[in-house]
Structure 1
Amino acid sequence: MRDERTKIGPLAAGFIVAGNMIGSGIFLLPASLGEIGSIAIVGWMVVLVGALLVGLVCSRLSALCPSGAGLTGYVRVGLGAPLGFQAAFLYWVSTWFGNVAIALAVTGYLAALLPALKAPLILTLATVAVIWAVSLGNLAGVRFTARFEGAALVQGLAPVLLVAVLGWWWFDPKIFVASWNVTGQSAGGAIATSLGSIIWAFLGLESAAVVAAVVRQPERNVPIATMGGIAAAGLVYITACTALTGVLTAEELRTSTAPFADVATRIWGPMAGSLLAICAMAKAAGTLAGWMLVGAETAEAGARLGLFPRALSGINRHGAPVRNLMFMAVLMSVVCLATMSPTLGQQFDTVVNMAVVLNVIVYACACAALLRLSPGRGRDLWVAGGGMLFCIGVLVTTGARSLLVAVGLLLIGVPLYMLRNAAGGGQEASRP
């Protein structure tokens, strides 16, 4: 049992939630939302409320099944081994798409420094090169990755937050109003279209629930940390993205590969824009290194438990999961090439929508798990029901193509689970 003196309080746990959510997504989201217009601010409000509901669901699950081993573990405990496996499989696959989105943020800001990269094919090939460069860097082991990501954190976020705050001095209401809805749809349709991209910013909201074992008085402090962290991250995102819509028009945002750098250039000149692009690129690269390692380690652990092919399991002398890192790099490269689009914003939107769909399916399963584990409790019923309705609403608005891919992955998961059981992995998955 952990010493109480080593555990953290709600403030520190809240920083974990906010820190995990405020990643590289902020660097390209304004470009993606430029396809919609400044009406996306309404979508931000809707998603913030939904994220708070799902956060409460995760907090309650952490109290009801403290040994659930994270989000997909809660699903396994509440809904059984087959759905637990499907949730773990979808969560793992979502990392391919999510990491490609992060890699696009790296090359997007690199293109701000080297305009020749802005051509779709060249940008896509540069993104593949970034994926492999970061994968090879991760072979140096987790210590190297942790140091790299830590060094990039403050350096990357500080100038972005500076633009988000000081950018309001240059905010022009006329630009904001003129770019209100550029989709050609009704207001409701435009808001619905924005939800899939916006929820990308809130992935990671379950972080405090996952680390509940190291939080003092988790029944009280995990919900406080979750709500506080989500609210803080949401405030940063809404403030930053809204500020940009009053400086750059929707068309300028839509075609931008580096919206924050473009705003800095508009306000302070080319030197400031180049400096911010370098900082943003470094932060995105650090985030990519961390999440690629997390994805590879997840698959490594799954291989040891029989969830994934054991042939992929392999640790080098630095402790890095070398085979899984290389396998993930191949899969990410395929995703990157398959989603090449006319603009960076469109490609970012495509991979983000896929990552969001898969994560939201897992969130919906978590809501169902809470309903199963906590029957007859009025508050849990309302929270889980509200969270489920939000997840269903997001899935309905994300588009048929993403949903069809998700259904295809669910169907693939069935024989994979059966093969896994045939190979002798079923016993582990069935443990409570």
Structure 2
Amino acid sequence: MTSTATLPAEAAAPPEQGPGPHARRFGLPIATCLVMGNIIGGGIFLLPASVAPFGTISLVAFGVLTAGAIALALVFGRLSQRLPQTGGPYVYARAAFGDFAGFLAAWSYWITAWVSNAALAVAAVGYLTVLFPAIGGHKAAMCLAALAVQWLPALANLAGTRYVGAVQLVATVLKFAPLLLVAVGGLFFFDPANLGPFRATDQSPVGAVSAAAAILLFSYLGVESAAVSAGEVRDPARNVGRATILGTAGAAAVYLLGTLAVFGLVPHDELVASEAPFTDAVNAMFGGTWGGTLVACAAVISMLGALNGWTLLSAQTPYAAARDGLFPKVFETKKRGVPVAGVLVTVVLASGLTVYNDTAGSDGVFEILVLVTTFTATVPYLLSTAAQIYFLLSGQSERVHRGRLVRDGVLAGLAFGFSMWLVAGSGYAAVYQGVLFLFAGVLVYAAMSARKHRAGHRAAA
């Protein structure tokens, strides 16, 4: 394991890219869209119905989770000021705890990204069948559609970071238009009689909040998006933190207002049984049955935007690790500001998983892998918040602004608690399966570490 005493010098490494038309293409607006677009995928369109059985107390759970997510966003903002490099959680964990911790952060994040991409694509096809009914019922057509949904964002990534940013900006604007229509416009049609009971179950208030939170916990995954892509953000020490906070706050506002509006538009008894709560809300606002088409369009755009962003992130973390000799060197290949090999490997793995799900999905392997990501996604958060606590407690003058020590310590503690809550909310099965995948990476680390050691000896000879 690399001694942490040598890492501050590495943190001051020269810029990752030279000047060029694709270097540092993400300004604050696009970096913010990257965060918001990755946090809000397709799950928001079902969330109100998912938490309705608990009553309006679920809004309290949303508020608690939002506070935790904002604390985590603030911690990432502080960490990105100290280490404004591509890789985010990988960079922070390695700087604090050495190569092995950094590798675990990179490995777990990479698994999360490519498995989640496959899941997002499969979910997107479900909404595509609403817009194009001819696809539905034909297994081969649905599989090809899922592959197309993955490869289109991958091609945008391969075209360069300027195109990634453009796609992310357009997708965020297009998907937020109908969401804001319901979240803000729905308040003008709000009927308090539709809200139903505050507590709809026999659970205690604490139990009801915890149960609702278990469903909502993973709604905020993606707060680290700007930090992971810090190497492509202009003035990262300043803009990454701002984008992280603005993006998380913006997503939180849409979540809270959207859920509240749907609660007030759709009667509680109908909402509990609803399979398309935002569709029902739009139909309640304007009448007719066109709400389903509007929501399906928004969902497909939302998922394409999320796939665009997550494809980039799935390549950035292995790229950062490859530069340090902890991932295969091929992941270090970068063109037009994008790690080409990382994008290609990610989309090939996700496509393979999609095809396997289509041909042998009855074995439940796909579902197991998606379950795994609910745990692996939290590992980088835990390591990052632990790194911030380490930096603060160790009193490293180059990392700690002493006048902010108490504030940063409180935020780091809240963020660590939030990350632990994410792990607890994963469930026993997710933790068990996720730990197996995490430990499988130990063998990869052993091979890469040995190769790095041999290369160091040859260079010294």
Structure 1 length-normalised TM = 0.77
- 1:261-294 Cα shifts (integer Å, max 9, x gaps): 2322333211243233223323323432442354
Q: Alpha-carbon deviation of 1:84?
A: 0.7
How far apart, CA to CA, are the structure 2 residues paired with 1:41 and 1:420?
A: 46
Q: Alpha-carbon deviation of 1:78?
A: 0.9
Q: Alpha-carbon deviation of 1:94?
A: 1.2
Answering whether residue 176 of structure 2 is matched by residue 167 of structure 1, we say: no
How far apart, CA to CA, are the structure 2 residues paired with 1:71 and 1:408?
A: 21
> What's the counterpart of residue 402 of structure 2?
none
- 1:247-273 Cα shifts (integer Å, max 9, x gaps): 235665565554322322333211243
Give matches, 1:300-339, under 5 Å: 307-308=326-327, 321-332=343-354
- 1:13-55 Cα shifts (integer Å, max 9, x gaps): 6565445434444233334434544322111111111112212
Contact 1:293 / 1:325 at 8 angstroms: preserved in 2? no
Contact 2:388 / 2:412 at 8 angstroms: preserved in 1? yes
Contact 2:90 / 2:102 at 8 angstroms: preserved in 1? yes
Q: Secondary structure at the match of 2:195?
A: helix
- 1:388-424 Cα shifts (integer Å, max 9, x gaps): 1222233223311111122212221222211222333
Answering whether residue 431 of structure 2 is matched by residue 403 of structure 1, we say: yes
Contact 1:109 / 1:257 at 8 angstroms: preserved in 2? no
How far apart, CA to CA, are the structure 2 residues paired with 1:421 and 1:33?
A: 46
Answering whether residue 73 of structure 2 is matched by residue 51 of structure 1, we say: no
How far apart, CA to CA, are the structure 2 residues paired with 1:195 and 1:203?
A: 14
Taking structure 1 as reference, are residues 172 and 406 closer, same or farther at Cα in structure 2, changes over 3 Å only?
A: same
Taking structure 1 as reference, are residues 134 and 42 closer, same or farther at Cα in structure 2, changes over 3 Å only?
A: same
Taking structure 1 as reference, are residues 278 and 425 closer, same or farther at Cα in structure 2, changes over 3 Å only?
A: farther
How far apart, CA to CA, are the structure 1 residues paired with 2:454 and 2:52?
A: 47
Give matches, 1:33-72, under 5 Å: 33-34=51-52, 36-67=54-85, 69-72=87-90
Answering whether residue 448 of structure 2 is matched by residue 420 of structure 1, we say: yes
Paired amino acid for 2:150: S
> What's the counterpart of residue 280 of structure 1?
299
Contact 1:170 / 1:247 at 8 angstroms: preserved in 2? yes
Contact 1:51 / 1:205 at 8 angstroms: preserved in 2? yes
Give matches, 1:13-92, under 5 Å: 17-34=35-52, 36-67=54-85, 69-92=87-110
> What's the counterpart of residue 266 of structure 2?
248
Paired amino acid for 2:176: L
> What's the counterpart of residue 289 of structure 2?
270
Answering whether residue 265 of structure 2 is matched by residue 237 of structure 1, we say: no
Answering whether residue 386 of structure 2 is matched by residue 368 of structure 1, we say: yes
> What is the root-mean-square deviation in Å for CA atoms of aligned residues?
4.4
How far apart, CA to CA, are the structure 2 residues paired with 1:179 and 1:239?
A: 17
Larger displacement relative to structure 2 (93-102 or 40-49): 93-102
> What's the counterpart of residue 133 of structure 1?
148
- The match for 1:158 among 177, 200, 204 is 177
Q: Secondary structure at the match of 2:265?
A: coil
Q: Alpha-carbon deviation of 1:157?
A: 2.2
How far apart, CA to CA, are the structure 2 residues paired with 1:304 and 1:83?
A: 16
How far apart, CA to CA, are the structure 2 residues paired with 1:309 and 1:212?
A: 21
> What's the counterpart of residue 124 of structure 2?
106
Runs of at least 5 residues in structure 2 that lack an aligned partner in the other structure = 1-14, 396-404, 457-461
Taking structure 1 as reference, are residues 150 and 371 closer, same or farther at Cα in structure 2, changes over 3 Å only?
A: closer
Taking structure 1 as reference, are residues 379 and 304 closer, same or farther at Cα in structure 2, changes over 3 Å only?
A: closer
Paired amino acid for 2:196: V
How far apart, CA to CA, are the structure 1 residues paired with 2:417 and 2:54?
A: 24
Q: Alpha-carbon deviation of 1:302?
A: 5.7
- 1:214-245 Cα shifts (integer Å, max 9, x gaps): 565946x6555543432232111100122112
How far apart, CA to CA, are the structure 2 residues paired with 1:191 and 1:126?
A: 41
Contact 1:196 / 1:353 at 8 angstroms: preserved in 2? no
Taking structure 1 as reference, are residues 238 and 56 closer, same or farther at Cα in structure 2, changes over 3 Å only?
A: same
Contact 2:129 / 2:135 at 8 angstroms: preserved in 1? yes
Q: Alpha-carbon deviation of 1:332?
A: 4.9
Contact 2:88 / 2:230 at 8 angstroms: preserved in 1? no
How far apart, CA to CA, are the structure 1 residues paired with 2:296 and 2:25?
A: 37
Larger Rg: 2
Paired amino acid for 1:131: A
Paired amino acid for 2:256: I
Q: Alpha-carbon deviation of 1:99?
A: 2.4
> What's the counterpart of residue 412 of structure 2?
384
Taking structure 1 as reference, are residues 90 and 7 closer, same or farther at Cα in structure 2, changes over 3 Å only?
A: closer
Q: Secondary structure at the match of 1:177?
A: coil
Paired amino acid for 1:416: V
How far apart, CA to CA, are the structure 2 residues paired with 1:10 and 1:210?
A: 15
Q: Alpha-carbon deviation of 1:77?
A: 0.8
Paired amino acid for 1:110: L
Contact 1:155 / 1:279 at 8 angstroms: preserved in 2? yes
Taking structure 1 as reference, are residues 273 and 339 closer, same or farther at Cα in structure 2, changes over 3 Å only?
A: same
Contact 2:81 / 2:236 at 8 angstroms: preserved in 1? no
Work out the percentage of aligned pairs sharing the same amino acid.
32
Runs of at least 5 residues in structure 1 that lack an aligned partner in the other structure = 342-346
> What's the counterpart of residue 181 of structure 1?
200
Q: Alpha-carbon deviation of 1:194?
A: 2.8
- The match for 2:421 among 393, 400, 409 is 393
Taking structure 1 as reference, are residues 260 and 72 closer, same or farther at Cα in structure 2, changes over 3 Å only?
A: same
Paired amino acid for 2:380: V
How far apart, CA to CA, are the structure 2 residues paired with 1:26 and 1:335?
A: 24
